[in-house]
């Protein structure tokens, strides 16, 4: 493995509170403080003038659809999307076919990642067998198989008693529970946010209370058990307030927001475009602003994409029948920079932190730092480059993106995983790790 020397970059490493001009040195797949004169002479140089160099981005909420739905995405193609978006570490959800509720399926995912992924892929396991919300999955064997968290993702556990027992067992195995907060009884047939817009469009609404109730439930159970609960893709301003007050009491909850919920509102559905249909749904401008405020004051901890591929045939249906979800790995950085840095005046290192160190810390992943000795996972991006996103020319097997054809600012130029360049010049340049 050749040595790498990245020069002339603006180096941002929130873990070390570093933000300034400088270089990055890589030897044998690890970050080092420097290279010797002889090593510098032989090293491959990357001139990063005008670029930001930061730790590889970390996303703890993606759907790679393998096993069982490889017509939508595979672990290999999903990893290509991640690399194109500057992500070097991702955590995939267990709602595969069959669900990842046993050690055998987790081993399959790990093997597929080892064979075909160009980034680091970590699996999660199910809370309940078959994600049916009836009986707990075997947390111990899932932990031994390598999961980094437990979640039923899109199928929120409805039984409070079962969720309490899940938290107790998860704490025993030092595994966070990640929860998609949705009271299913309140959202039967719902396809968008409940409000004026849903009434105008004649579509059944998904009330924010259905999220708020489960967020409050999870806060109470976390406080009761002492277990860590991570609240996925928060959308409601009332939920943000619940989480803020819980954190003030020291409750072990963390929470995420997605780029699409930060950037878009229910008004985007006026044209019945199913590429704006997602669960939880896009909400109001007041909710969107509350999410930004939550990221600003630390109530919400990180940004995660909820990358959810669906084929054109699946999305090209009546709004009521089209599946929820969008792809987002390749556009996440640009959208986050636009919403938070340009429009909301966040500092660039703060946004990098939300996408690197803080995300890694939630699941205790070995990522999100440029410290000497760490794996050489690096993202180089131009925060000012304007480009037009073409989902059809992207890395995913699916094209369900609300940003297809849109002009974005901020583009990933190079992604390095373990000292190896895996994305450069707008294309994947390596196959498998």
**Domains of the chain: which residue ranges?**
4-52+375-428, 56-362
Fold matches, 4-52+375-428 and 56-362? no
Is 306 one of the catalytic residues? yes
Give the pLDDT confidence score for residue 432 in this predicted structure: 64
Give the pLDDT confidence score for residue 430 in this predicted structure: 79
CA dihedral for 187, 331, 335, 215, sign (positive or negative)? positive
Q: What is the pLDDT of residues 56-100, one digit of tens each?
A: 999 999 999 999 999 999 999 999 999 999 999 999 999 999 999
DSSP per position, 281-343: PP--HHHHHHHHHHHHHTSS-EE---B----HHHHSS-TTTSPP----TTTHHHHHIIIIIIT
Domain spanning 4-52+375-428: which superfamily?
Answer: Urease, subunit C, domain 1 (2.30.40.10)
Residues 6+ apart with CB under 8 A from 244: 294, 297, 299
**Whole-number Å distance between alpha carbons of 156 and 97:** 17
Task: Note whether 385 and 333 are within 8 A (CB).
Answer: no
Q: Which two tokens stand for residue 147?
A: 């999961």
The b-or-e profile of 73-106 (16+ CB within 10 A means b, else e) is bbbbbbbbbbbbbbbbbbbbbbbbeebbbbbebb
User: Which stretches in the chain have pLDDT values below 70?
Assistant: 1, 431-433
For the beta carbon of residue 108, count every other beta carbon within 10 angstroms.
18
* Active-site residue identified among 101, 306, 338, 361: 306
Give the pLDDT confidence score for residue 87 in this predicted structure: 99
CA atoms within 13 A on the CB side of 299: 22
Domain spanning 56-362: which superfamily?
Answer: Metal-dependent hydrolases (3.20.20.140)
Give the pLDDT confidence score for residue 2 in this predicted structure: 79
């Amino acid at each position: 493995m050749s040595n790498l020397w990245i020069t002339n970059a603006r180096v941002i490493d929130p873990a070390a509170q570093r933000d300034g001009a400088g270089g990055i040195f890589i030897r044998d797949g690890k970050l080092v403080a420097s290279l010797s004169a002889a090593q510098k002479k032989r090293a491959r140089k990357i001139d990063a003038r005008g670029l930001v160099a930061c730790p590889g981005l970390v996303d703890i909420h993606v759907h790679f659809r393998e096993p069982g739905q490889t017509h939508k995405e595979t672990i290999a193609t999903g990893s290509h999307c991640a690399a194109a978006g500057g992500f070097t570490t991702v955590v995939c959800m267990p709602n595969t076919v069959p669900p990842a509720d046993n050690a055998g399926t987790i081993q399959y995912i790990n093997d597929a990642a080892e064979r075909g992924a160009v980034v680091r892929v970590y699996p999660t396991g199910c809370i309940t067998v078959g994600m049916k919300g009836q009986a707990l999955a075997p947390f111990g064997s899932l932990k031994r198989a390598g999961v980094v968290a437990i979640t039923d993702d899109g199928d929120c556990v409805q039984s409070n008693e079962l969720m309490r027992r899940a938290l107790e067992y998860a704490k025993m195995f030092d595994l966070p529970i990640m929860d998609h907060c949705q009271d299913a009884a309140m959202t039967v047939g719902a396809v968008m946010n409940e409000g004026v817009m849903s009434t105008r469009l004649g579509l059944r609404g998904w009330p924010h209370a259905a999220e708020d109730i489960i967020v409050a439930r999870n806060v109470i159970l976390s406080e009761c058990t002492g277990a860590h609960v991570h609240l996925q893709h928060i959308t409601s301003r009332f939920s943000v307030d619940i989480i803020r007050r819980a954190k003030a009491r020291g409750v072990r909850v963390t929470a995420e927001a997605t780029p699409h919920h930060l950037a878009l509102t229910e008004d985007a559905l006026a044209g019945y475009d199913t590429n704006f249909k997602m669960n939880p749904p896009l909400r109001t401008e007041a909710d969107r602003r509350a999410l930004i405020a939550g990221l600003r004051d630390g109530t919400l901890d990180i940004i995660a994409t909820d990358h959810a591929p669906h084929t054109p045939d699946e999305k090209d249906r009546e709004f009521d029948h089209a599946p929820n979800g969008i792809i987002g790995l390749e556009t996440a950085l640009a959208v986050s920079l636009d919403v938070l840095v340009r429009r909301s005046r966040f500092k660039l290192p703060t946004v990098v932190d939300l996408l690197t160190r803080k995300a890694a810390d939630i699941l205790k992943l070995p990522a999100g730092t440029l410290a000497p000795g760490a794996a050489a996972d690096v993202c180089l991006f131009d925060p000012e480059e304007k480009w037009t996103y073409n989902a059809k020319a992207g890395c995913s097997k699916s094209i369900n993106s609300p940003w297809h054809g849109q002009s974005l600012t901020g583009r990933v130029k190079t992604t390095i995983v373990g000292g190896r360049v895996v994305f450069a010049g707008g294309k994947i340049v390596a196959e498998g790790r």
